Structure 1
Amino acid sequence: MDDFYDEGTLISVLTTQPLDRLLDYKAPAGGCPQGAYVEVPLGPRKVLGVAWGPGQGGFDPAKVRAAFRVLDAPPMRAELREFLERSADYTLTPRTAMLRLATRAPGLGDGPAMRKIYRKGDSEPDRMTDARRRVLEVLDEMGGLSLTLKELADAAGVTSSVVKGLAKQGAVREEEAPRDTAFARLDPDYGGKALTDDQAGAAEELRAGVRSGKYGTVLLKGVTGSGKTEVYLEAVAECLRKGRQALVLLPEIALTSEFLTRVEARFGARPAEWHSGVTVTERRRVWRQVAEGGAQLVVGARSALFLPFRDLGLTVVDEEHDTSYKQEEGVLYNARDMAVLRASICAGRVILASATPSLESWANADAGKYQRLDLVSRFGPAVMPEMRALDMRGEDLPGSRWISPSLQAAVKRRIAQGEQSLLFLNRRGYAPVTICRACGHQIACPHCDARMVEHRFQQRLICHQCGESTPKPEKCPSCEVEGKLAAVGPGVERLAEEAAEVFPDARLAVLSSDLFGSARQLKAEIEKIAMGGADIVIGTQLVAKGHNFPNLTLVGVIDADLGLQGSDLRAAERTFQLMRQVAGRAGRAEKPGTALLQTFQPEHPVIRAILSGDEEGFWKAEADERRAAGMPPYGRLAGVILSSTEVQEVFDLGAAMARQDGPLRRIGAQVYGPAPAPITRVRGRHRVRLLVKAPKGVALQAALADWAGQFRLKGELRMAIDIDPQSFF
């Protein structure tokens, strides 16, 4: 049990400020328990902190200032404090930065209060306008969530007077409600579905693990459409029966709405949500109710892993292979790995669900560290799609076109049969490069060493590194010749333009994350497609992630070779995963599906593995290659990115670090570099990369800390250390 510190007792406090150390204060009036959220003075400011333990002392007690007060919030549990400590040590992140991840909710110190909220009313407005329609659509979209006047008006893009006008007519109901109410109770026995023998066996294994009350991780591998979600929801139900809390992590906000509907159908009420699309008011409510036990199940993005659960019994990482679980800015962590760490601390279970697992998870299951459960067939009458390669070397295709004659014919057959087709290209925008045909100049970002991507729907050029956006110029910025700027290469917008010409009578829909202003708009478009509102869907990686289009029977991959280019360690793995996931969109109902992969390399081992469906053979071959090279998961990697506004500074520091690598050599590690990062300038900062390779099982983090600690960063120099890097940009 945590200690209690009487008033005036010396306590150490971890604040959310960028000071990587504990600070001593006197306990506030009335004292405080260990783990209490406290408000403390730091210079002239009041800042948030947590009573981490007894004070360290070693200085004049008379100079120690007292904490102002204890916040009205449940104290941080010892389990979460240990998780933050260990995750900070693993990722070489300051503990203060980890604490910021765990306190991302506004008004934590505010006490109970009443507020006005707005819900859908029982009446219809006397006349419907576009503004009023948007308000009602937002309320439908949010379901039972509480919205303040400002949140509702902002979400609908209207003034508050529109909402108040609807309230006067009874179309919107204005209520007084207490802040931070508990979520509706979920009933684990409410709406369970009949499972196949395959599913029932896996579900019972998962339930037994939850009942054990002990830590364990399970890799739930099932082909697309095999019912993985229904199976792991049975484990969630068992967790609820045990009185413990559950967390389901999803890789994309776009998946949340459909998933919440399934959860409500299974348990009779909506769970708590935690992601960037949730309102400020709702974030505070979720944070507090998770801590108080008023939220049994949270569905969220990777940051939900840092919520203050009272008793976290189960964490599900859906599509566990997805790269979006790796945080690439700020605190660099992989939510999949951190979920396993947190479960090991709180005696919880972890389910890693995927049709195409990461090699790390596959290897852990192969080594017996994780249990593995397989779902080998699709649910109901659906069968896996037939997969074929279209050898582009034999296709008669003009240089400015990308949809081959064979794929065109297949799409036309589907249209004639009243079925849907998906054309997949994992490249956003209209074209990746804009070049001047007069002087050869390629339009680049002024702040990054990256080409500006044309987004024709928005009539702008956008940098996908820093977000810089400019109107497309009429004349070349280099030679100033007009009319000579040309788009080079395809993006989904250009593919849509071609599809409109090739299939003039077809209804087209484009799914790309940058084409929708809100999650609500994206959800509406996905629902429209699922209901048959398009003949041809043109999409990026977004469409590969869990969406179910019952009438979609053909998937055409425009450039199956795209991900095989470059020297990325995981290029083969990611291409294999993406192609198999995309192909799985075809034939999800009673109609059989076909997946056609346009490729110039049909003999490539990855393409052959995709077509053959020999997934185990692919993983074993990939594992053998990594093992022979001593690469993850059979070795360790750490990336070091140095950056500065002065290019010479970063090269000088990188060269010095490469020379003074004694702490790393002592554990058998090697340093590669320094070398310019693949994207050498981002947001005006020059970037140099070093890569550290070490044997598996060595104390890499300690050696890295000793190595990096030899160097003082002055002026504009910055250093970021990425443990287990997933990308090498």
Structure 2
Amino acid sequence: MSRQNAQILFPVNVPGAFDYSVPEPMRVERGDFVFAPIGKQMKLGIVMGTKADETGRDLKDIAEIKSTRPLPDPILDFIEWVARYNVASPGQVLRMVLRSWKALDPSPIATLYEPTGDRPLNLTPARRAALTKGGPFPARASEIASRARISSGVIKGMVKVGLMRADERPVDPPYDEPDPELPGRDLSDAQTAAADELVTQVRKDRFSVSLLDGVTGSGKTEVYFEAVAEALRQGRQVMILVPEIALTQAGLSRFGARFGAEPVAWHSSITDMARRRAWREVASGRAKLVVGARSALFLPFANLGLIVVDEEHDTSFKQEEGVIYNARDMAVLRGRLEDRPVILASATPSLESLHNARTGRYAHVVLPERPGAITLPDIGLIDMKSHKPEAGSFLSGPMVQAVAERLSRGEQSLLYMNRRGYAPLILCRVCGERLKSPDTDSWLVEHRATGRAMCHLTGFSMRMPRTCPKCGAEDGLTSIGPGVERIADEAQTHFPQARVEILSSDTTATPDEIKARLGRMERGEIDILVGTQMVVKGHNFPRLTFVGVVDGDLLMGGADPRAGERTYQTLVQVAGRAGRADMAGEAFIQTHHPEHEALQALVAGDRNMFVGVEMEMREMLGLPPFGRIAAVIFWGPDLKKTQKLAKDFVTKAPRTDGIEILGPSEAPIARLRGLYRQRLFIRAEPGVDLSKYMTAWRTKIRPPAKYKIQIDIDPQSFV
């Protein structure tokens, strides 16, 4: 048997795999984990391919094969495709797959303790604390002791007297198995027809994409639950992607109620131990049901049967740093490589997905109405030119009156304002200085609840100054514009007896805090909820009958070609929170532009009118879905050198028909974290392989040290 060579990919920022020799008698296969020298280090890598050694080249040897389950072919193909499509390093993509090194080893074995159930009356305070405060059980003695604030010796002493039992067990036990045979909710005829269509796609056991297009409150989740149940009956694994952690938390309980076991959670806030356990159980095929944020897309499923992307239109699926990718699009790619069905669900589908459904590339499964007697909320516009609030206020008279009516009936109201903090701008009345983050062209936001001024782009934070940093004027700083804190203060002023709370990432920093606040809203313990984008994400509040959008114009400005689409999507989603039970809902939108086509379509309840206008505009301009776009962002510590890098890059553009280059120009936020930024946009006709074009272009220039060229295929952010 001839000697092997292997192509090893390492989870580092390198352009591809490296060739290594496989020493006799060692043999490797594609997907094996191996240790091999790279530079002066010994690193863990993946075998991406093998071939016979026919050249006799002097190659470094693989040092060791790690005894663990190899990565399956579909995930290896996925790594290469994601890198190629997004003009990224395959090593960086591999790093996203290998999020937990310890998961490659079997679960560690530890002595775990749990109560026997025996509780004598004369317990010492320490032993009583161990039983009442030391859980959840089973757990290590140190964990119980830490939670109960006692010594570990107390736990071991309890074993001797029969109050605790100790067992040698895996630290990471298997997850509970979901039961697909448990009954779901009763479905309407329309929901049953939609569910049957999705189940049929799962039974075909091959790649397909279905767009589940249902108005808010139409029961999309219960419908795709039937497809999930079918995949589980086949013994396969299911991955459900949700936009944010808040939805992940809500989704866990809904899935738990439907399938008798909570699914595996995967997002950035889980602990290292939870990440290790989840990765290992997914790779083994034992974890059947996973609900997670976009990074769950890179888990090494052993037997994937179905992918669901909930709220597929949501911009949170776009990763903006490191490897820049859209998880919705990459989910479709993974479904194709796995040869398994994909479901995209939304009340406001992206125009790209809607176009694919209308042209037959995707199956179009429509839920046009809410079940039973539940109706969509009535939507009205408040023209702020005619209904000006009092000086220093931001809620118009009709908005305040609508909230008062709900309070008088014991119903709930939601005030939507997609700005965190108290005020988005801090201005000196004396010299006109606008407070900015150091080394960044981003205004500081006042957070009155914490007494700080913060930058939401860089995370910079400082105590709210008493004097102007530029002119030194005392008491000259004033807050301009509203954020959720200011709207909440105004609501509390109008309604002193009302229970007012805020839902934003500043006020709910952990998943548990999010869950607690949402729980209070669901139980009717909050009268007025003031929230940011977090309140839009699929929550169901039975007693919420009024939604007030404080600034309906906020999404319309700027250079974003999707501004109209995003305005329409956001306002449909937030208005749809109203009237979810047996009570009619109503939504008011404050705006200075009531004539805007997105707002007019919203009031008329005519999505086709808006989609028709937007599609016509996109086609005329050659924008997605009728063309493709890419952005190039240049970063550097010196303005002139950054500008020169951008101009030099343009001169090296490959000559190809069907490509239009716009720029370079200064980015809207021209300086960020001390680096200057220039932007370039590329528009490609549908027949052009834009990823291949950008890859060829990128290889033509090497930026100087401390300068960076960042390529974004199909950008969603234009700052």
Task: Return the TM-score normalized by structure 2.
Answer: 0.93
Q: Distance in 2 between matches of 1:546 and 1:637?
A: 30
Aligned to 1:710: 700
Q: Distance in 2 between matches of 1:45 and 1:549?
A: 55
Q: Distance in 2 between matches of 1:150 and 1:526?
A: 33
> Which range is displaced more, 166-175 or 387-396?
166-175
**Structure 1 residues 126, 452: closer, same or farther in 2, change over 3 A?**
farther
1:200-219 to structure 2, matched below 5 A, reads 200-219=192-211
1:12 aligns with 2:18: no
Asked if structure 1 preserves the Cα contact closer than 8 Å seen for 2:35 and 2:62, the reply is no
Residue number among 702, 724, 727 corresponding to 2:714 in the alignment: 724
**Shift in Å, 1:267:** 1.3
Q: Distance in 2 between matches of 1:358 and 1:526?
A: 27
1:109-148 to structure 2, matched below 5 A, reads 109-116=104-111
1:24 aligns with 2:23: no
**Shift in Å, 1:113:** 2.7
**Structure 1 residues 660, 135: closer, same or farther in 2, change over 3 A?**
farther
**Structure 1 residues 703, 108: closer, same or farther in 2, change over 3 A?**
same
**Shift in Å, 1:190:** 1.3
Q: Distance in 2 between matches of 1:722 and 1:133?
A: 54
Asked if structure 1 preserves the Cα contact closer than 8 Å seen for 2:663 and 2:679, the reply is yes
**Structure 1 residues 50, 341: closer, same or farther in 2, change over 3 A?**
same
1:48 aligns with 2:44: yes
1:543 aligns with 2:539: no
Aligned to 1:293: 285
**Shift in Å, 1:282:** 1.8
Residue number among 684, 692, 696 corresponding to 2:682 in the alignment: 692
Q: Distance in 2 between matches of 1:712 and 1:333?
A: 23
CA deviations on 1:316-342 (whole Å, 9 max, x unpaired) are 000000000000100000010001111
**Structure 1 residues 18, 267: closer, same or farther in 2, change over 3 A?**
same
Residue number among 50, 53, 74 corresponding to 1:79 in the alignment: 74
Asked if structure 1 preserves the Cα contact closer than 8 Å seen for 2:130 and 2:155, the reply is no
> Which range is displaced more, 351-360 or 515-524?
515-524
1:485 aligns with 2:481: no
Unpaired segments ≥5 residues, structure 2: none
1:271-282 to structure 2, matched below 5 A, reads 271-282=263-274
What is the aligned-residue RMSD (CA, Å)?
2.7
1:500 aligns with 2:500: no
Aligned to 2:330: 338
SS in 1 for 2:218: coil
SS in 1 for 2:498: coil
- What letter is aligned with 2:416? F
> Which range is displaced more, 158-167 or 716-725?
158-167
**Structure 1 residues 133, 287: closer, same or farther in 2, change over 3 A?**
same
**Shift in Å, 1:678:** 0.7
Residue number among 677, 684, 688 corresponding to 2:667 in the alignment: 677
Residue number among 234, 246, 250 corresponding to 2:242 in the alignment: 250
Q: Distance in 2 between matches of 1:56 and 1:473?
A: 69
Q: Distance in 2 between matches of 1:347 and 1:573?
A: 31
- What letter is aligned with 1:232? Y
- What letter is aligned with 1:372? H
CA deviations on 1:340-391 (whole Å, 9 max, x unpaired) are 1111111110110000011110111111110101111213332111111112
**Shift in Å, 1:302:** 0.6
- What letter is aligned with 2:12? Q
Q: Distance in 1 between matches of 2:265 and 2:164?
A: 23
Aligned to 1:66: 62
**Structure 1 residues 363, 38: closer, same or farther in 2, change over 3 A?**
same
**Shift in Å, 1:418:** 0.5
**Structure 1 residues 596, 108: closer, same or farther in 2, change over 3 A?**
same
Aligned to 2:560: 568
**Structure 1 residues 33, 706: closer, same or farther in 2, change over 3 A?**
closer
Q: Equivalent pairs: percent with the same residue?
A: 43
Asked if structure 2 preserves the Cα contact closer than 8 Å seen for 1:681 and 1:687, the reply is yes
SS in 1 for 2:102: coil
**Shift in Å, 1:517:** 2.8
> Which range is displaced more, 359-368 or 30-39?
30-39
Residue number among 563, 570, 574 corresponding to 1:578 in the alignment: 570
**Structure 1 residues 504, 209: closer, same or farther in 2, change over 3 A?**
same
Q: Distance in 2 between matches of 1:165 and 1:323?
A: 51
Residue number among 632, 635, 656 corresponding to 2:627 in the alignment: 635
CA deviations on 1:124-170 (whole Å, 9 max, x unpaired) are 99889xx999978x95xxxx9x87788899xxxx7784696996889
Residue number among 63, 81, 88 corresponding to 2:83 in the alignment: 88
Aligned to 1:464: 456
**Structure 1 residues 63, 727: closer, same or farther in 2, change over 3 A?**
closer
- What letter is aligned with 2:7? S
**Structure 1 residues 358, 368: closer, same or farther in 2, change over 3 A?**
same
**Shift in Å, 1:610:** 1.2
SS in 1 for 2:34: strand
Asked if structure 2 preserves the Cα contact closer than 8 Å seen for 1:626 and 1:633, the reply is yes
Unpaired segments ≥5 residues, structure 1: none
SS in 2 for 1:187: coil
1:38 aligns with 2:34: yes
Q: Distance in 2 between matches of 1:120 and 1:439?
A: 68
SS in 2 for 1:560: coil
Q: Distance in 2 between matches of 1:391 and 1:519?
A: 37
CA deviations on 1:493-551 (whole Å, 9 max, x unpaired) are 11111111111111111000122231101111110111111110000010011111111
Asked if structure 1 preserves the Cα contact closer than 8 Å seen for 2:130 and 2:148, the reply is no
**Structure 1 residues 83, 450: closer, same or farther in 2, change over 3 A?**
same
> Which range is displaced more, 412-421 or 700-709?
700-709
- What letter is aligned with 2:95? R
CA deviations on 1:420-470 (whole Å, 9 max, x unpaired) are 000110111111110111111111010211001111112111111111111
Asked if structure 1 preserves the Cα contact closer than 8 Å seen for 2:394 and 2:550, the reply is yes
1:54-453 to structure 2, matched below 5 A, reads 54=50, 61-70=57-66, 72-116=67-111, 161=149, 176-453=168-445
Asked if structure 1 preserves the Cα contact closer than 8 Å seen for 2:31 and 2:70, the reply is yes
Residue number among 499, 503, 525 corresponding to 1:533 in the alignment: 525
Q: Distance in 1 between matches of 2:650 and 2:638?
A: 19
Q: Distance in 2 between matches of 1:535 and 1:133?
A: 38
Q: Distance in 2 between matches of 1:134 and 1:630?
A: 65
SS in 1 for 2:99: coil
Q: Distance in 1 between matches of 2:140 and 2:449?
A: 34
Q: Distance in 2 between matches of 1:133 and 1:586?
A: 44
- What letter is aligned with 2:60? V
Task: Return the TM-score normalized by structure 1.
Answer: 0.92
Q: Distance in 1 between matches of 2:195 and 2:206?
A: 17
- What letter is aligned with 2:363? Q
1:649 aligns with 2:644: no
- What letter is aligned with 2:27? G
**Shift in Å, 1:25:** 2.5
CA deviations on 1:663-703 (whole Å, 9 max, x unpaired) are 1x413211111101111111111110000111012122222
**Structure 1 residues 30, 58: closer, same or farther in 2, change over 3 A?**
closer
- What letter is aligned with 1:15? F
**Shift in Å, 1:645:** 0.9
Asked if structure 2 preserves the Cα contact closer than 8 Å seen for 1:220 and 1:353, the reply is yes
**Shift in Å, 1:660:** 3.1
Q: Distance in 2 between matches of 1:549 and 1:344?
A: 37
**Shift in Å, 1:11:** 1.4
